[in-house]
Amino acid sequence: MPKERSPRRRTAALSVAAVAVLGGAALTARAGVVGAADRTAAVAPAGGTSAPPARTPPTASAAAPPGSASAPAPTGDPAVFTGLAFDTCTAPAPSAMNAWHGTSPYGAAAVYVGGRNRGCAQPQLTPSWVASVTATGWRLIPLYVGAQPPCRSGSNPEKLTAGTAVDLGSADGADAVAAAGALGMRPGSTLYLDVESYDAADTACAAAVLAYTRSFDRAVEARGYRPGFYGFAASSAAGIARAAAEGTPDLPTALWYAKYDGVEDTVTGFPFAAGLFTGHRRGHQYRVDRRETHGGVTLTVDRNAWDAPVAVVG
């Protein structure tokens, strides 16, 4: 995931043979420099091991259009994928996705659906692309690069403050739903808010991030979608896990944590209390910037062990 400046702009690679296949499209993974703290396991938070409490669904009109502020809250079980997933900054061309399907170990791919801090252009990411790759058999993980922490170094187009956190979260949650819906991702999809690393010792910063995230979650859920969260095991994800252990309401329903330990699992080495985010609600980014060739096409990707909700398409 992105770690500095505009998120997710690592350079990806194409094999010479694949350039013709992909029509010269530039494929990128994520960008920036990860601090040493981001590459270490977070300390499991104290305060209990129970999963986040169920939220009371907002009152809504059943006749409201999907994605509207008054759409019904999601009901039933979410769509879940269990297996390996990859992420890269720019959605690959359909030909690349076709080449990797069945020849790579991956069954899901993360895509950046929006956010002012999204670092890469998305020429491929259209409703027809979503429909095409899901028809092939891919499952998609929608990521929204929202406002970044006030104590985070670097220049981001959108940063939150304690004073703007709630309003920004509400606006970004609505925007995330609109962006996902425009791509054909239906209500019931889980949308992952991407919050990058920050100084976990800065309690005021952590509180602002939590306020923003909870506001984002309320806005997403009020429109019939489910909120998820991507963050680092030593900072942003740790803040969510700590709040979950404390029983804080309006938290993400799934946690995707970056911990670069090479463990292809969501249970072994889980950096937080064992009872948190169980029941198919964990993703683990365990390696980054890996150059891989499958089906004659080479991409540079990040690797994820996945046992969590994904987008609902079709």
Handedness of CA 169, 70, 277, 52 (dihedral sign): positive
Tens digit of each residue's pLDDT (9 = 90 or more) over 95-142: 999 999 999 999 999 999 999 999 999 999 999 999 999 999 999 999
pLDDT at 70: 57
Q: Which DSSP state fits 166?
A: H
- Beta-bridged to residue 269, according to DSSP, are none
Q: Taking Cα atoms as reference points, which of 219, 217, 141 lies closest to residue 183?
A: 141
Distance of alpha carbon 174 from alpha carbon 156, whole angstroms: 20
Cβ-contact 25, 123 below 8 angstroms: yes
**pLDDT at 240 (0 to 100):** 98
Question: What residue type is assigned to position 90 of the chain?
Answer: T
What whole-number distance in Å separates Cα of residue 192 and Cα of residue 156? 19
Question: 10 Å Cβ neighbour count for 48?
Answer: 13
Q: Give the residues across from 97 on adjacent strands.
A: none
Question: Is 0.85 topped by the overall pTM?
Answer: no
Q: Give the β-pairing of 297-309 and 282-294.
A: antiparallel
**Distance between CA 246 and CA 197 in Å, rounded?**
21
* Maximum separation of any 2 CA atoms in the chain, in Å: 55
Per the DSSP assignment, residues forming a β-bridge with 82 are 307
pLDDT tens string 269-295: 999 999 999 999 999 999 999 999 999
How large a percentage of the chain has pLDDT more than 70? 78
Residue-wise pLDDT for 25-72, tens only, equals 333 344 332 333 333 333 333 333 334 433 333 332 333 444 556 577
pLDDT surpasses 90 at 74: no
Domain ranges of the chain: 10-33+68-309
The CATH-assigned architecture of domain 10-33+68-309 is: Alpha-Beta Barrel (3.20)
What is the mean pLDDT of the segment spanning 227-248?
98
29 and 10 Cβ atoms separated by less than 8 Å: yes
How high is the pLDDT of residue 221?
Answer: 98
164 has pLDDT over 70: yes
Check residue 38 and give its pLDDT.
39
- What is residue 310's three-state secondary structure? coil
Residue 199 has pLDDT above 90, yes or no: yes
Nearest-angstrom CA–CA distance, 228 and 144 = 10
